[in-house]
Structure 1
């Protein structure tokens, strides 16, 4: 089980954590949203919650709640520019389909 950051995403998260008092790392998970069912969420982690899996990469901690972990296990998080905006992007091996805009995804379990 693992969630990882590309070098560019790692640098970005390190900067966010250093500039935000009380930030412990990155919280990563999913929420029900969009036309396909699941959307990735990222925010700064300010606490460790019961059941969190914690992955560490070069001093950066990534916190994933127990319900999200099966849906994001193996995901690589990247960071890049898309037009005028900058955003995290996700290479999630559990996603079997995405909506047309790329905002949400489904898994094999969703098809059952």
Structure 2
């Protein structure tokens, strides 16, 4: 597990709180895995899920006892990003603010570089 003093991808407090609540309900470790996959309407899409394991080349950020796990390939596209949890009239979701994204789609789950 690779941990650095520099926060490559930040996990904001609202997202950490939501991950902790989900993990507690499911009886799992409070570790959110964020990855980038090809697809979506803009070329790349974000994938979220509870991390089943942490690999040696994963980047790990921790806030309030909750881990954000990003694989080394996705990290290149996510460096400098922040993960938040937002609730609105339209619903609730994890959202990524990604400075590397040249454009995104209306749903907020896909982007291009």
Asked if Structure 1 and Structure 2 have the same fold, meaning a TM-score greater than 0.5 normalized by the shorter chain, the answer is: yes
Residues 30 and 38 in structure 1, CA contact (< 8 A), matched pair in contact too: yes
In the alignment, structure 1 segments of 5+ residues that lack a partner are 108-112
In the alignment, structure 2 segments of 5+ residues that lack a partner are 1-6
How much does 1:54 deviate? 1.2
1:11 aligns with one of 13, 17, 36: 17
SS at 2:35's partner residue? strand
- Structure 2 residue 109 is matched with structure 1 residue 103: yes
Question: Where do 4+ consecutive residues of structure 1 move more than 6 Å?
Answer: none
How much does 1:24 deviate? 4.7
Corresponding position of 1:54: 60
Corresponding position of 1:20: 26
How many residue pairs get aligned? The number is: 107
Q: Deviations over 1:33-63 (max 9, x none)?
A: 1221111111001111242111112211111
Q: Summarize the alignment of residues 29-108 of structure 1 with structure 2, pairs less than 5 Å apart.
A: 29-107=35-113
Residues 24 and 47 in structure 1, CA contact (< 8 A), matched pair in contact too: no
TM-score, with length taken from structure 1:
0.83
